[in-house]
Structure 1
Amino acid sequence: MDWKTLQGLLSGVNKYSTAFGRIWLSVVFVFRVLVYVVAAERVWGDEQKDFDCNHRQPGCTNVCYDHYFPISHIRLWALQLIFVTCPSLLVIMHVAYREDRERKNREKNGENCPKLYSNTGKKHGGLWWTYLLTLFFKLGIEIVFLYLLHRIWDSFDLPRLVKCDFHPCPNTVDCYIARPTEKKIFTYFMVGASALCIVLTVCEIFYLIFKRVVRSMQKLKKKKRSLTYSKASTCPCHSRLDHDGKLKISPVEALRASAPNLTLI
């Protein structure tokens, strides 16, 4: 698998990601993709060939291996990395769609026409929802794959010895997994990196929602202030208020107030 191509595609997501998103992408490529390519892939190697049973009955080893390893760790992690990184491409596609709309608008109405978007990469409107949905997709995929890994291999454990009594094995056969301790260490490391990505994704979801709520409250406050100001400006009594909020009284009105019986000519 060409991980460099995938990294090149996802590097553009950094421009539109939050701080949590940038950290998530760094964790994925440094602690997961790099470890997968450099070390984990070589540790597993040809697992079926290294799966040794103390019986030479034809087909017995294959049946036992298929029962205890319905899918290889290394292939499951490859699928997980592909599925968990692909939703980020939706953000790039949405930004490209906005840029294409902007280009068509300029071609139709001229270069000096009003822009459709102040910033095509800013997370407002539909792009905000697209970004949030990609986070939920990534979170769901991470949880599903962790559950599968835990379900297939109980508590992510790799025992040294497994017993098999499936047909065509003539009796209970002892089978040995190659390098179980080393594989167990890599399994725990990959599970820990996946758990860290889950935490970062949850933090980014809460950050986006919190930021959206704060922005909405600020807009609501500004709207209320403008509405209050517009009502005050139309009221006759408020039109006579000075900058300090005090009522402006003319000298004649002040004189009348001090001497109500005085007749002014």
Structure 2
Amino acid sequence: MNWAVYEALLTGVNKFSTEFGRLWLSIVFIFRILIYAVSATRVWGDDQKEFECNTRQPGCTNVCFDQFFPVSHIRLWALQLIFVTCPSLLVVMHVAYRENRERKHREQKGENCETLYKDIGKKRGGLWWTYLLSLLIKAVVDAAFIMIFHQLYDNFFLPNLVKCSLSPCPNTVDCFISRPSEKNIFTVFMITASAVCVLINIIEAVYLIGKKCKERMPATRRRNLLEKGETTKLTILKGCHARMSKVWMATYRNSCMN
């Protein structure tokens, strides 16, 4: 995997993120990508080579390894990191679309024309929805991979000994996993980091929605106050008109009687 591409991607997204988004990027880059690239690949480098079964039957070790490790941890984590960083491309692409649209607008109208966007990178309008959608996708991706790990490897932990009775094994054989304790530590660490990222994504989504509602609340209140003021004014005018009508009718009657 070319981690330089993902580092450039994360650096670009960092410019358009909130405080929670920057925290998410830091956790992904430091506690997931770096741990994966520096340590995890070495820990799982000998998983098949040192997976041993107490039999000399040709092919038995291979089928038992495939049964217990249908997909390697390291490959699942690679897929997870790719899928969880791809939604950030939506934000970068949307900002690039705005920049291109702004550039074409200036070419047509001139450099001194009114801009289409007050701030291209500010989360307003469609960019706000794109950013919110990217948060939800990232949370769903991480949660889905956590469930996949839970389904493939019971409670995320690797046992010291597994039993296998698949053909061509002559009977039920015992197979031993290389360094299960060390692998369990890394598994718990990566799963915990994924869970923290899901929590941060949810918090950031709630923060964005709450901020948007807070921005719209004053306008709604002003509109309600204006409507209430207009209703009150109309009521006062109606009352004044009614009183004036009564005074006019009384004056008219008095003049007729005189």
- What is the CA-CA distance between 1:234 and the residue it aligns to? 11
- 8 Å contact from structure 1 (residues 21, 204) kept in 2: yes
Unaligned runs of at least 5 residues, structure 2: 238-258
- Which residue does the alignment assign to 1:57? 57
Alignment of 1:8-19 (within 5 A): 8-19=8-19
- Which residue does the alignment assign to 2:247? none
- Say whether residues 1:128 and 2:153 are aligned partners: no
- Say whether residues 1:86 and 2:83 are aligned partners: no
Alignment of 1:97-176 (within 5 A): 97-176=97-176
- Which residue does the alignment assign to 1:48? 48
Alignment of 1:184-195 (within 5 A): 184-195=184-195
Letter in 2 for 1:97: Y
Question: How far does the alpha carbon of each residue in 1:202-225 deviate from its partner, in whole angstroms, 9 at most, with x for none?
Answer: 100100000011111122234445
- 8 Å contact from structure 1 (residues 60, 166) kept in 2: yes
- Which residue does the alignment assign to 1:75? 75
Q: Tell me, what secondary structure is at the counterpart of 1:167?
A: coil
Q: Tell me, what secondary structure is at the counterpart of 2:48?
A: helix
Q: Equivalents in 1 of 2:178, 2:141: separation in Å?
A: 29
Letter in 1 for 2:172: T
- Which residue does the alignment assign to 2:210? 210
Give structure 1 regions of 4+ aligned residues with deviation exceeding 2 angstroms: 221-237
Q: Tell me, what secondary structure is at the counterpart of 1:208?
A: helix
TM-score (norm 1): 0.85
- 8 Å contact from structure 2 (residues 99, 120) kept in 1: yes
Letter in 1 for 2:199: V
User: Percent sequence identity over matched residues?
Assistant: 58
The Cα RMSD (Å) is 1.9
- What is the CA-CA distance between 1:111 and the residue it aligns to? 1.1
Q: Equivalents in 2 of 1:24, 1:107: separation in Å?
A: 38
Question: How far does the alpha carbon of each residue in 1:115-173 deviate from its partner, in whole angstroms, 9 at most, with x for none?
Answer: 11111111010000000000110011011000000000000010010000000111011
Pick closer, same or farther for the CA change 1:228–1:116 going to 2, 3 Å.
farther
Question: How far does the alpha carbon of each residue in 1:28-82 deviate from its partner, in whole angstroms, 9 at most, with x for none?
Answer: 0111111111111101103111111111111111100000000000110010011
Q: Equivalents in 1 of 2:219, 2:20: separation in Å?
A: 25
- 8 Å contact from structure 2 (residues 46, 178) kept in 1: no
Q: Equivalents in 2 of 1:229, 1:117: separation in Å?
A: 34
- Which residue does the alignment assign to 2:28? 28
Q: Equivalents in 2 of 1:165, 1:235: separation in Å?
A: 88
Letter in 2 for 1:208: L
Q: Which has the higher helix share?
A: 2
- 8 Å contact from structure 1 (residues 10, 89) kept in 2: no
Q: Equivalents in 1 of 2:58, 2:218: separation in Å?
A: 73
User: Which stretch shifts more, 21-30 or 109-118?
Assistant: 109-118
